Amino acid sequence: MQPIELFYPQLDSPAKVVITMHQKPDGDAMGAALGLYHFLRSLGHEVTVISPTNWADFLDWMPGIKQVIDFEHHREKAKNIISHTEIIFCLDFNILHRTKHMEQPLTDAACTKILIDHHEQPQESAFSYGISDTSKSSTCEMVYDFIVNSGHAGSLSIDMAECLYTGVMTDTGSFRFPATTASVHRMVASLKDVGLRHTIVHEHIYDNFLENRLRFIGYALVNRMEVLYEYNTALMYITRADLQKYNIKTGDTEGLVNYLLTIQGIKFGALVIDRDEERKWSFRSKGTFDVNTFARKHFEGGGHANAAGGRSSEVLEATVKHFKQVIQEYQIQLQ
Ligand code: 5GP
Ligand code: MN
């Protein structure tokens, strides 16, 4: 993978471009993809955003999202576009299998592939150019840097600003996590200069759920949370029946794991949700406990030091039992 700066000259030659991101794109993945989409279109490129799967309804207000192709629903059309494109941007993931069924079409595409991402341990050999920087708050911050560092700060528009702000806001926990640097605040200041309406973005993302989601959270906190004080750890497990009872959709469980870290003294929060095809784990920590390493070692996952995910093919009870066993290795680290 060559440094991304070497790609900048190609920005001036309009090309066929595909932008993609990890499956079940969150605010950062979708915000980065659409921010880059608006930017590349402003330079005259022919751009298609393809998401590996569907996404949460609370992202549907984003400018450009109606044009995003859901790979799972339009496989043949999406495969055809991927096989004829000249450039593919891969955003907010660094290992092709995080695009689920798109892994093979992406691997087969013999075009220029560009990585912009902030997760640990990138699969560098899969990309022609790229930047991988785990110190960055979000992929949206990196797309902003890409626009500015390539000499196009003057092209920033309100649509780009609102898409990029979404990912910085969601990935920094509304500007509270340690990666919220002075550069992040400078970026937000320049997005404000372009016309960013930040209050509207917060309302779209955080104040836009249905009643059932709030009642589900109450139910889960009362019935599905265990606090393991000897490990300064809180655990929550959600059954398939819970999801059905409260009619829980993609995106409704986002943020649930963060409640665990609001308990005084808790350093490690772990949430497992029984999805149809697998048990999906989310891990969050405060301080030095590295959940990326934990997720890689025990739950086929990865991510960042303080926020990571994983999975299990065991049934829910078995994977919870497994978690309670492996956590014993970390009692000293978690003191
Ligand atoms: P979440 O718990 O919100 O699904 O994921 C937390 C963070 O870990 C996100 O940055 C996400 O991209 C990353 N992540 C989640 N699952 C996986 C996984 O299976 N592998 C890797 N490498 N990263 C993951
Ligand atoms: Mn991200």
To test the pocket of ligand 1, the residue of 26, 140, 300 to mutate (highest count of ligand atoms within 8 Å of its CB) is 26
Instruction: Write phi, then psi, for 261 (nearest 5 degrees).
Output: -80, -5
Count each helix (H run) and each strand (E run) in the chain, helices first. Answer: 11, 13
> What residue spans in the chain does CATH classification 3.90.1640.10 cover?
2-206
Say what the pTM is: 0.94
- Domain spanning 2-206, CATH architecture: Alpha-Beta Complex (3.90)
pLDDT by position in tens, the chain (length 335): 999 999 999 999 999 999 999 999 999 999 999 999 999 999 999 999 999 999 999 999 999 999 999 999 999 999 999 999 999 999 999 999 999 999 999 999 999 999 999 999 999 999 999 999 999 999 999 999 999 999 999 999 999 999 999 999 999 999 999 999 999 999 999 999 999 999 999 999 999 999 999 999 999 999 999 999 999 999 999 999 999 999 999 889 999 999 999 999 999 999 999 998 899 999 999 999 999 999 999 999 999 999 999 999 999 999 999 999 999 999 999 99
- CA nearest ligand 1 atom 10, residue: 303
Q: Residue 17 forms beta bridges with which residues?
A: 47, 87
- CA nearest ligand 1 atom 11, residue: 303
CA of 121, closest atom in ligand 1: 22
pLDDT of 126 = 96
In contact, 124 and 3? CB cutoff 8 Å: no
> What residue spans in the chain does CATH classification 3.10.310.30 cover?
211-330
pLDDT of 276 = 80
Q: Is the CB of 303 under 6 A from ligand 1?
A: yes
pLDDT of 225 = 98
Fold of 211-330: Diaminopimelate Epimerase; Chain A, domain 1 (3.10.310)
Q: How does 205-229 read in b/e, with b if 16+ C-beta sit within 10 Å?
A: beebbeeebeebbeebeeebbeebe
| 174: alpha, beta or left? (left if phi > 0; alpha if psi -120 to 50) | left
Tokens of 166: 């979404």
Q: Is the CB of 251 under 6 A from ligand 1?
A: no
Q: What is the DSSP string of 230-257?
A: GGTEEEEEE-HHHHHHTT--TTTTTTGG
The ligand minimizing its distance to the Cα of 33 is 2
To test the pocket of ligand 1, the residue of 22, 293, 294 to mutate (highest count of ligand atoms within 8 Å of its CB) is 22
Instruction: Write phi, then psi, for 201 (nearest 5 degrees).
Output: -65, -45
What distance in angstroms lies between residue 309's CA and the mean position of ligand 2's atoms?
12
Q: Radius of gyration over alpha carbons of the chain, in Å?
A: 20
Question: Which candidate, 181, 9, 19, 17, places its Cα nearest to that of 90?
Answer: 19
Q: Residues near 125 by Cβ (< 8 Å), separated by ≥ 6? A: 1
- CA nearest ligand 1 atom 18, residue: 301
**CA 61-62-64 angle, 5° bins:** 120
pLDDT of 277 = 86
